[in-house]
Amino acid sequence: MLPVTRFWLGWFGFNPGSTTAANKDIAMIFVNTNLAAAAGAVLAMVTSRVKFGKPEIGMSLNGALAGLVAITAPCASVTPLSAVIIGAAAGIVVVLSVLFFDKIKVDDPVGAISVHGVCGAWGTLAAGIFNIGGTSAKIIGVQLLGIGTCFLWVFPAAFFMFKLIDKTVGLRVSPEEEMEGLDLAEHGGNAYPDFEVSSYNGVGGSAMGPGSPAATGDAVSQFKPVQQT
């Protein structure tokens, strides 16, 4: 949870700072950024409650990130009300997108594709739809062209690089190393000395959804503190 709050705070420098000008426009960018993040967190929490039966914290935090990502493109060109709508839509979209990529077996345990890819595309499109100066088919067309161009460059390039890495040095560690943890396998250290992995899921099982920061891989593990002697 702490890293997400740091991202949230840092985004206040990222979005307003991108204007490279100290003027009154920064105030609205601050407000839009905060409103979108809050709306994303709330709607992701509501959506996860509907989908999983519990308001899952990992998905809620991903919703905040989704709202921040979605408002980045239109932060200076939409009204605060539009920022709420953009963030709220991102909060819903990120949950559904995470479930979709999990269903088609894409290995994305923290939902990065959904947060930055899908919600980034939504924010780019929203910049045209909710443009404070008015929208048009031409504006929306330009935004769609930008989204498509990014995809047509990034996807093939990334696919090629990942395939190259996979065929040369290898892209993935062994299942045993995954279970042991890369802190031990790759770095020879224990990153979490106060915790151990347990198969116990608590009362009523786990509500953590796939792709949330609280989940890793297909199996969701709970952690319990170890008494230090």
Res 73 pLDDT > 50: yes
User: Which residues have CB under 8 Å from 206's CB, separation 6+?
Assistant: 220, 222
Give SS3 for 201.
coil
Residue 121 identity = A
- Domain end, chosen from 121, 145, 167, is at 167
Same domain assignment for residues 35 and 56 = yes
Do 115 and 13 belong together in one domain?
yes
- What mean pLDDT comes out for the span 197-212? 51
CB 40 within 8 A of CB 88: yes
Picking from 2, 34, 43, the residue whose alpha carbon sits closest to that of residue 15 is: 34
Torsion of CA 112, 117, 122, 125, to 10 degrees: 160
- For residue 212, the model assigns a pLDDT of 55
**CATH number of the CATH domain containing 160:** 1.10.3430.10
Same domain membership, residue 186 and residue 161: no
For residue 223, pLDDT beyond 90: no
**How confident is the model over 67-80, as a mean pLDDT?**
95
Q: How far apart are CA 229 and CA 210, in angstroms?
A: 35
pLDDT reported for residue 172: 85
Give the pLDDT confidence score for residue 226 in this predicted structure: 44
Same domain for 84 and 10: yes
Looking at the 3D structure of the chain, how many domains does it have?
Answer: 2
- CA atoms within 13 Å, Cβ hemisphere of 214: 16
173 versus 128: which is more confidently predicted?
128
Instruction: Look at 40-44, 63-67, 91-95, 217-221 and tell me which has the smallest mean pLDDT.
Output: 217-221
Domain containing residue 194? 175-225
Structure tokens at 207: 């509500």
Q: Are 218 and 108 in contact (CB under 8 A)?
A: no
Is 196 in contact with 223 (CB distance < 8 Å)?
yes
Residue 66: pLDDT band with limits 50, 70, 90: very high
Q: Are residues 76 and 132 in the same domain?
A: yes
Distances (CA, A) of 146 to 27, 29, 77, 138, 140: 27, 22, 17, 12, 10
Q: Tell whether 133 and 214 lie within a shared domain.
A: no
Same domain, 95 and 121: yes
Q: Binning pLDDT at 50, 70 and 90, where does residue 179 land?
A: confident
pTM of the model: 0.79
Tell me: the pLDDT tens digits for 89-130?
Answer: 999 999 999 999 999 999 898 899 999 999 999 999 999 999
Concatenated DSSP letters for 61-78? HHHHHHHHHHHHTTTTTS
Q: How confident is the model at residue 22 (pLDDT cuts 50, 70, 90)?
A: confident
Please compute the mean of the pLDDT values over residues 132-145 and round it to a whole number. 96
Q: Do 190 and 88 belong together in one domain?
A: no
Token reading at 205: 């099982």
Q: How confident is the model at residue 189 (pLDDT cuts 50, 70, 90)?
A: confident
Same-domain check for residues 16 and 101: yes
Among the listed residues 136, 143, 99, the one whose alpha carbon sits nearest the alpha carbon of residue 121: 143
- Report whether pLDDT(60) > 70: yes
55 and 89 part of one domain: yes
Report how far residue 56's alpha carbon sits from residue 95's, in angstroms, rounded to the nearest whole number. Answer: 10
Query: pLDDT at position 197, please?
Result: 58
Last residue of a domain, one of 167, 183, 203: 167
- For 130, the token pair is 């909710």
Residue whose tokens read 């952690």: 223
Is the same domain home to 123 and 197?
A: no
pLDDT of residue 218: 41
Secondary structure (3-state) at 197: strand
> Highest-confidence range of 12-16, 104-108, 129-133, 217-221, by mean pLDDT?
129-133
| Single residue among 151, 167, 183 that ends a domain in this structure | 167
Give yes or no for residue 157 having a pLDDT over 90: yes
Does one domain contain both 65 and 146? Answer: yes
